[in-house]
Amino acid sequence: MDGFHYYNLFETKGFEYILTIAFFLLLIPFWILLNKKAKITQKIGEAFGTLTMRALKLPKGVYHSPNHSWMYLLKSGKARIGLSDLLLKITGNITVVPLKQAGEKIRQGEPLLEIKQGEKTICLESPLSGKVIRFSNDAASELMHDPYGNGWLFELEPNNWIAETKDYFLADKASYWAEWEIVRFKDFLIASLAKHEPSLQTNALQDGGELREHIMEEMPEEIWADFGTVFLRKDNDQAI
C-alpha cells in the first residue's frame, strides 16, 4: 500500500519512550504511597505534640516564678496562683494536692502543694507570702486546658507582693524565660537520664532532637525526684 510505512519500535527511539512512560506510571503510585506515609507520620507527630514556644500559652499580664508557678493580682488585692503551661506540657496529666488550707499563713519558699502522677510525687514551694483564702474546687477539671484562667489553684492574700515579685518574669521577659526553660529542661533530662536510665535517652527525644509533650509521664521516680529538687528549684543553679 502506497504511503504506508512500517517502523520497528526496537530499531527506533519509540521503545525507549514506552519504557520511560511505563517507569513514570509505576513511579506515580509509589510517590503517592510515600507521600501518604509522610503525612501519616506528620499527623502522629502532631498527635504526640512537640514542646516548642509556639505550643505554649503565655499571657502577658501574669508573673512567672522560676519554679514554674504563676501569679497575678486581682482588683480586690488578692493573688491567684497556678502552674505554668510549660510545666503542665512537660508533666502531662497530674493531680494537685494542697498542703495549706484556707486561713493558714504561708511564707515564700514554704511547701504549698504536691504534684502527683501515680506513685510519683514532687513538692512545689509557694511563690508568695500571705494568708491562704481558698483552694480552687475546679482545679482538677480545668488545670490542663485553662491553666491561666479557671485552672488557677490557690487564692492568697499577699503581704509582700512588690518585693517578692520583683525578680519574677512578666510579659516579654516571661517569653524569653520560657524559651530558655525549654532548652534547660532538655539539658536537665539528658543529664538525669544519663545518671539514672541511660537506656531511655534515645526514646526521650523525637527525630531532630525535639522534646515531646508530656515526656515526664514516661519517666521513672528517680527522674521525677531530680525534676523536683533540681529543675524546679527557685535558684535553678543546682547541677545534676
Look up cell 527522674; give the residue.
223
Smallest CA-to-CA distance from 236 within 162, 180, 161 is with: 180
What DSSP line would sit under 8-29, residue for residue?
-GGGSTHHHHHHHHHHHHHHHH
| Spatial separation of the C-alpha atoms in residues 28 and 45, rounded to whole Å | 26
**Residues in Cβ contact with 102 at an 8 Å cutoff, skipping those fewer than 6 apart:** 132, 133, 134, 135
Q: Supply the pLDDT for residue 39.
A: 43
Output the pTM of the full model: 0.77
Distance of alpha carbon 227 from alpha carbon 122, whole angstroms: 8
Question: Which DSSP symbol is given to 160?
Answer: S
**Per-residue pLDDT at 172:** 95
What was the pLDDT predicted at 45?
39
Alpha-carbon dihedral 88, 91, 94, 96, rounded to 10 degrees: -70
Rounded to an integer, what distance in angstroms lies between the CA atom of residue 62 and that of residue 173? 11
Cα separation values, 51 from 37, 139, 202, 231, Å: 23, 23, 16, 16
Per-block average pLDDT, block size 10, for the chain (240 residues)? 52 56 58 46 46 90 97 97 97 96 97 96 97 92 93 97 97 96 94 89 67 91 95 62
Residue 84: which residues within 8 A CB-CB, separation 6 or more? 64, 68, 69, 70, 147, 178
What is the rounded distance in angstroms from the CA atom of residue 90 to the CA atom of residue 214?
5
Residue 139 confidence (pLDDT): 85
Please check whether residue 95 is in contact with residue 116, taking contact to mean a CB–CB distance below 8 angstroms: yes
- Please say whether the beta carbons of 30 and 39 come within 8 A: no
What integer pLDDT is reported at residue 138 of this predicted model?
A: 86
What's residue 200's pLDDT?
A: 76
- Residue 123's alpha-carbon distances to 32, 48, 98, 226, 228, in angstroms, are 51, 27, 10, 12, 7
> How many degrees, rounded to 5, is the angle at CA 165 between CA 233 and CA 150?
85
Distance, C-alpha 106 to centroid of its chain: 29
- Four-residue CA torsion sign, 211, 213, 218, 224: positive
